[in-house]
Chain A
Amino acid sequence: MLELKNVCFGVEADGNEKEIIRNVSFDIPDNEFVVITGPNGGGKSTVAKLIAGIEKPTSGKIIFNGEDITERSVTERAKKGIAYAFQNPVKFKGLCVFDLLKIAAGKEIKISDACDYLSAVGLCARDYINREINSSLSGGELKRIEIATVLARACFLSVFDEPEAGIDLWSFQNLIEAFRTMREKIENSSILIISHQERILEIADEIIVIKDGEIEKKGKRDDVLPSLIGTPEVLGTCRNNVPLKGEPAVC
């Protein structure tokens, strides 16, 4: 489905080129649940942005369903079937939840459809569909609505950047359920999640560890996960906050 070939990405800082991503290659087959993990600042979110087209690689190629999409815009990638959930959801004055879900679905939707998307992320639709997506919504609510927009898109590949951040334990279970349902509903679809959460890593088919802009480890969950448990890269379910770099996970 998706292949990254020797992808590099750098930014200019103080007149010098700073490499954020170095020679990253991996592929996500159809019908696969992949989690990218690793320490903060290691380049995980940048990889997600490179896939969505928000950032363009300085070198390397991104192939989606056999097509080179490296030079394709965010819109073109979205239309080809890549969905992306922001780590920090964007607020819109004047746009309500129903509007955003309708745009995400790319067609006229019924209120009942909007209700289904919102229920899947643990929100009572009646209370939310007419709410403006502004600061009156809490961080957790915004996060869930963000995930609902990705559900509404029903894409071949859905990329979530730390979907669990700001979400409480009750809805965490719902979130995992939503990922499961998504995979069942869209045939051969794959999910890529950027996460530190042990509970998300536990349901992955494959885990990729990115550190200092490079792939440190990748492989099947059972091969990779045992070596991560108890390291700063992975959080137990009792912790919702991302620890500071180097801080051990506390359970």
Chain B
Amino acid sequence: MLKLDEIQKRLLREVADLHTVPEGAYNIRSNSKSIGRQSSANIEITPKTEVSGLEVHIKPGTKNESVHIPVVMTESGLKELVYNDFYIGENSDVVIVAGCGIDNCGPKDSEHDGIHRFYVGKNAKVKYVEKHYGSGDGSGKRILNPGTEVYQEEGSSVEMEMVQIKGVDDTNRMTKAVLGAGAKLVVRERLMTHASQNAVSTYEVYLNGAGSSADVVSRSVARDNSYQKFDAKIIGNAPCSGHTECDSIIMDNGRILAVPGLEANDLDASLVHEAAIGKIAGEQIIKLMTLGLTEAEAEEQIINGFLS
């Protein structure tokens, strides 16, 4: 039976909502080593041989199953680069939960760079959840640089929930997706930065198949002296529809740069972008104060709701 210490348990709760070892297929990576792995009848997880990482093969037609591959780091000064590849069989319907939690109590930087590639078969449906979390009072930074590549075949559907709410000092997220005919991609990113954190999130979505669609929406909050850049580009190479949206709240000395980009290379490509950045509306705070909350409590409620 897999034994976890309290810090590992806390990080797993934060990044994967796991209170115990998950059911179904999983791999738990702690301090650069796999400390628990299980495949299921339909989902096979094997380690890569030439580089660090995993191959996850999901059989065609696999329905209502999940894969958990959380990563936790509790040793200061670790730096790792991991490649995880997912092969999702045709007509399957699965949930994949990734995520990384770093607890750094030491003076050295800890860094996890995870490159995830998804090969999504025809008519397959994937929900992907990735949460990032940092804790620990060391002077070493907590750094996460996720790279995500998604290749969607005809009629497939991918919903990605990317969440980074607390404690990650530096992050550079790059997401690329290539969609075939009738494929659908939905991204919901939620980000909060504080202290002197820096977060860059870049999307490149290629709508190559007729009838493909993408909806990339980011909601973020930048507090204290933190900085964010949201750079989302949708390229329509076929009759398709794409929408990108950045909705942000700035507080204190927080700064945000939103760079929505659209490129239409087909007459029937319909692409839309929206971006809004601003502080919390004063009237929202006053409304909640008239309901009995203090100003600080009102702000907290507004932020929690906005990022929920």
Contacts and interface: CB of A to CB of B under 8 A. Distances in A.
Interface string A49-77: 00010100000000000000000011100
Contacts of B281: 90
Contacts of A92: 284, 302, 305
A106 B292 contact: yes
Given A90-B283, A92-B284, A95-B305, A78 B290 contact: yes
Contacts of A79: 292
B287 A75 contact: no
Interface residue range, chain B: 20 to 34
Interface in B268-308: 281, 283-284, 286-295, 301-302, 304-308
B290 A83 contact: yes
B14 interface: no
A179 interface: no
Contacts of B231: none
Question: Which of A54, A74, A92, A100 has the largest count of B CB atoms less than 10 A from its CB?
Answer: A74
Interface residues of A, number: 23
A149 interface: yes
Q: In this complex, which of A73, A75, A95, A153 has the most chain B Cβ atoms within 10 angstroms of its Cβ?
A: A75
Contacts of A100: 291
A103 interface: yes
Interface in A94-132: 94-96, 99-100, 103-104, 106
Contacts of A106: 291-292
A75 B293 CA distance: 6
Contacts of A90: 281, 283-284, 286-287
B305 A75 contact: no
A94 B292 contact: no
Given A93-B247, A94-B307, A99-B305, A74 B283 contact: no
Contact of A74 (B286, B304, B306, B307): B286
Given A103-B288, A103-B301, A75 B308 contact: no
Interface in A25-70: 52, 54
Nearest to A96: B305
Given A74-B286, A86-B287, A103-B288, A94 B305 contact: yes
A94 B290 CA distance: 19
Contacts of A172: none
A156 interface: no
A75 B284 contact: no
A176 to B, nearest CB: 23
A84 interface: yes
A55 B26 CA distance: 57
Nearest to B306: A94
Nearest to A101: B291
17 contacts: A52-B290, A54-B290, A75-B294, A78-B290, A78-B291, A83-B290, A84-B290, A92-B305, A93-B219, A94-B302, A94-B304, A94-B306, A99-B305, A100-B291, A103-B288, A103-B293, A149-B291
Interface of B: 219, 247, 281, 283-284, 286-295, 301-302, 304-308
Closest 10 CB pairs of A and B: A94-B305, A95-B305, A74-B289, A78-B292, A90-B287, A94-B306, A84-B290, A104-B291, A75-B289, A90-B283
